[in-house]
Structure 1
């Protein structure tokens, strides 16, 4: 497996859509040369051509050429853990030509069924996955597995190299997206954890954890604002941007309410009006399920703030602006912004 890292470069002037279109035009023109290089086993020439082409989309993207699932080869262009770039990588893959016998395209590293047979040179040492041991911990009532990774060569490596090797191994074992979904804290240690297991068992452990989160759930949370005012929130659980990679548009709906208790929380007619609004919003989003998702809402100090994430090419923002027209308890507002990392709901992410 030939891996290529990121390329440091300045941002280009093109927008992402134009840059993606430019890449695929370049791919079509250059494809015969790339095919010849792959067939001849010339990774240096392949890298020389692919590196600037991928960097032209965004210099923060990483890429690799790997064995395909159905095709002979896979071109993977990935955000490599950078949440700000995940939607860009997925839009690149969405615009790809159909797969054929030679090439398929992925916006994240895929699980490799031959992972335990892979060996990588890390700092001049042989990093074989069949020697990787994992200490696994599943926090109570949390949709994640914390991982402490140990390999015999880790004592010879610096911390950054240990962690990079671990992350790559997890991607090969689970696939990059499932690492984002189900793996929590990751450490690379120089002493084998107590009760560690061979890395080959990680997919089964993750599958067991995932089986407990097959139904949609909502959590009711209580807290305080930065100023100390009481706050009540309801959030989707689990809430993860990786499940909706194209939803990088944040739609914030703010509804002031007139009837509130001594803590500033809605009561009476206001509570009924808010519930009615959210039922109508949910009905709209149900029709737009491929374009938008309700992430969370919170109430404090006479205002309810509703957070929706959507594909900016869809109509979710238009629907939100239409819905607030009938709100009668103060001046409502809809704010729309780009937020690919879902920073506006960071406290609720799992």
Structure 2
């Protein structure tokens, strides 16, 4: 059985519970009513119970009941590609009770090993995944594959429905998280692309792409600020929020430096001081490796700006603040806020 849905805004007043803890308290009380409905395949009754409960977390979360890997059923509560909600879905799953024979819990859709055997109704037409074909293109120096999806029924569907069907098929073929990691532009096509490959080959193409990006890399970049000043930056590559879904706290450190060259970049004693800070920060992040990471840092116009992301349930912000107290070249600053989509480093996302 597979169900999915969004919470309607007009039903919000009837939501049971409050937040993640409220959902799991409700779940324990609802199991005696829910389990028989699932066993009977009573879709309407399941939706009547689950839709308000998931809506209590957030009205834009998507839920579905799918076959489990180790349990009979899986309850999936997913952000459905919304980066702003991904951390909430993962906190929901992290707080879940241990899986049992009936239920397991996931914050994103998993790849379905039987995906190519699936057929569903899309706009009154049969959408069989084994008839899906893809035109694939890997842009140069990019850790993503652009996908043009074709199915014989696409010419009968409107653009929005074609896209929804394509996204769902990709989630089933690859798993939602790997779609976020490795798939770039997604274009539903009404004509079969040249050199299209059958859907069965897509996971192998993505696995080959992923194998080329197993090691940690850093990119050095040069550019100019909006005011025209020289800028140099170093960024993690690939840099993607999906790899660290609980790291939705943005920690921005600003260090003014006194010694700079004609382009405003650090020089002399300031360059030495910044390198020393980098070493001490790296040591601190090693201690916090499960709770924080360095995403990018840039220097321009007499300031070094460091972007970190952390689990807000950790003490990462406090420990980093302690580290900058020893900075002597001007008044350092630390700004801490919520940024689940990593918007502060959007130019560096890959």
Task: Classify the TM-score, shorter chain.
Answer: over 0.9
Q: What SS does the corresponding residue of 1:289 show, helix, strand or coil?
A: coil
Q: What SS does the corresponding residue of 1:208 show, helix, strand or coil?
A: helix
Q: What SS does the corresponding residue of 2:148 show, helix, strand or coil?
A: strand
TM-score, structure 2 as length reference: 0.97
Match of 1:254 in 2: 254
In structure 1, distance between residues paired with 2:217 and 2:231: 20
In structure 1, distance between residues paired with 2:138 and 2:57: 38
Match of 1:88 in 2: 88
In structure 1, distance between residues paired with 2:225 and 2:250: 21
Q: What SS does the corresponding residue of 1:100 show, helix, strand or coil?
A: coil
Match of 1:194 in 2: 194
Match of 2:239 in 1: 239
Q: What SS does the corresponding residue of 2:307 show, helix, strand or coil?
A: strand
In structure 1, distance between residues paired with 2:27 and 2:326: 50
Matched, 1:147 2:108: no
Could you list the runs of 4 or more consecutive aligned residues of structure 1 that deviate by over 4 angstroms after TM superposition?
A: 10-13
TM-score, structure 1 as length reference: 0.97
Shift of 1:11: 11
Shift of 1:230: 1.1
Matched, 1:3 2:3: yes
1:233-283 Cα shifts (integer Å, max 9, x gaps): 000000000000000000000000011111100011111111110111111
Q: What SS does the corresponding residue of 1:76 show, helix, strand or coil?
A: strand
Shift of 1:5: 2.1
Q: For the structure 1 residues 268 and 250, does the alpha-carbon distance in structure 2 shift closer, same or farther, using more than 3 Å as the test?
A: same
Checking the alignment, whether the CA contact within 8 Å between 1:288 and 1:316 is kept in structure 2 is yes
Cα root mean square deviation, aligned: 1.3
Shift of 1:330: 0.4
* 1:299-318 to 2 correspondences below 5 Å: 299-318=299-318
Shift of 1:33: 1.1
Checking the alignment, whether the CA contact within 8 Å between 1:6 and 1:62 is kept in structure 2 is yes
1:58-113 Cα shifts (integer Å, max 9, x gaps): 00100000000110100000000000000000000000000011100000000000
Q: What SS does the corresponding residue of 1:334 show, helix, strand or coil?
A: strand
1:34-69 Cα shifts (integer Å, max 9, x gaps): 110011110110011100000011001000000001
In structure 1, distance between residues paired with 2:18 and 2:266: 46
* 1:163-202 to 2 correspondences below 5 Å: 163-202=163-202
Match of 1:24 in 2: 24
Q: For the structure 1 residues 115 and 317, does the alpha-carbon distance in structure 2 shift closer, same or farther, using more than 3 Å as the test?
A: same
1:310-341 Cα shifts (integer Å, max 9, x gaps): 00010110111101111000010000000000
Q: What SS does the corresponding residue of 2:9 show, helix, strand or coil?
A: coil
* 1:184-333 to 2 correspondences below 5 Å: 184-333=184-333
Matched, 1:160 2:160: yes
1:132-187 Cα shifts (integer Å, max 9, x gaps): 00000111121111000000000000100000000000000000000000000101
In structure 2, distance between residues paired with 1:11 and 1:314: 35
Q: What SS does the corresponding residue of 2:168 show, helix, strand or coil?
A: helix
Match of 2:334 in 1: 334
Checking the alignment, whether the CA contact within 8 Å between 1:112 and 1:172 is kept in structure 2 is yes
Q: What SS does the corresponding residue of 2:314 show, helix, strand or coil?
A: coil
Match of 2:131 in 1: 131
In structure 1, distance between residues paired with 2:60 and 2:97: 23
In structure 2, distance between residues paired with 1:262 and 1:10: 60
Q: Which runs of 5+ in 1 are unaligned?
A: none
Q: For the structure 1 residues 141 and 260, does the alpha-carbon distance in structure 2 shift closer, same or farther, using more than 3 Å as the test?
A: same
Checking the alignment, whether the CA contact within 8 Å between 1:11 and 1:59 is kept in structure 2 is no
Q: What SS does the corresponding residue of 2:51 show, helix, strand or coil?
A: helix
Instruction: Give the paired residue count.
Output: 347
Matched, 1:102 2:105: no
Match of 1:120 in 2: 120
In structure 2, distance between residues paired with 1:211 and 1:11: 45
Q: For the structure 1 residues 168 and 73, does the alpha-carbon distance in structure 2 shift closer, same or farther, using more than 3 Å as the test?
A: same
In structure 2, distance between residues paired with 1:145 and 1:10: 39
Checking the alignment, whether the CA contact within 8 Å between 2:253 and 2:334 is kept in structure 1 is yes
Q: Which runs of 5+ in 2 are unaligned?
A: none
In structure 1, distance between residues paired with 2:97 and 2:114: 27
Checking the alignment, whether the CA contact within 8 Å between 2:217 and 2:238 is kept in structure 1 is yes
In structure 2, distance between residues paired with 1:258 and 1:153: 64
